[in-house]
């Protein structure tokens, strides 16, 4: 099903918008909030990991790389993981339907 690619593609377009908006915003904590909210599933895991390790800063954003580089190291892999999770969630109904109905996918 080709519609399974639409939500991840739309999300990646949204991620590009969020990154452009981030680079045009003042370097403060509120700018980081947009990146974290845009990558919510990965951010939740990062907050849990930060809490488990007893750290004071967010462990998925590295220190010592410069402001934009450190945030890019976090944001772009997190955005790709989030897009992949969207793909998995959107392809699950079709996979379940084929599995339960016993139909084999068409081969081109």
Q: What is the pLDDT of residues 22-69, one digit of tens each?
A: 998 888 778 888 888 999 989 999 999 989 988 888 888 888 888 889
Q: What is the pLDDT of residue 20?
A: 93
Mean pLDDT of 77-97: 86
Please give the residue that has the higher pLDDT: either 7 or 30. 7
pLDDT at 90 over 60: yes
With a CB cutoff of 8 Å and minimum separation 6, the contacts of 39 are 15, 74, 75, 78, 79, 81, 82
Res 7 pLDDT > 80: yes
What confidence tier does 80 reach under pLDDT thresholds 50, 70, 90? very high
Confidence at residue 104, expressed as pLDDT on a 0 to 100 scale: 63
The rounded percent of the chain whose pLDDT value lies above 90 is 35
Helix, coil or strand: residue 1: coil
Residue 1 pLDDT exceeds 80: no
Query: Are 41 and 80 in contact, with CB atoms under 8 Å apart?
Result: no
């Amino acid at each position: 099903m080709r519609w399974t690619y639409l939500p991840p593609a739309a999300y990646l377009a949204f991620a590009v918008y969020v990154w452009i908006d981030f680079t045009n915003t003042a370097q403060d904590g509120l700018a980081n909030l947009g990146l974290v909210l845009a990558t919510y599933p990965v951010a939740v895991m990062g907050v849990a990991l930060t809490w488990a390790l007893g750290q004071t800063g967010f462990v998925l954003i590295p220190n010592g790389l410069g402001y934009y580089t450190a945030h890019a190291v976090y944001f772009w892999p997190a955005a790709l993981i989030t897009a992949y999770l969207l793909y998995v969630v959107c392809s699950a109904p079709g996979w379940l339907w084929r599995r339960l109905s016993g139909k084999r996918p068409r081969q081109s």
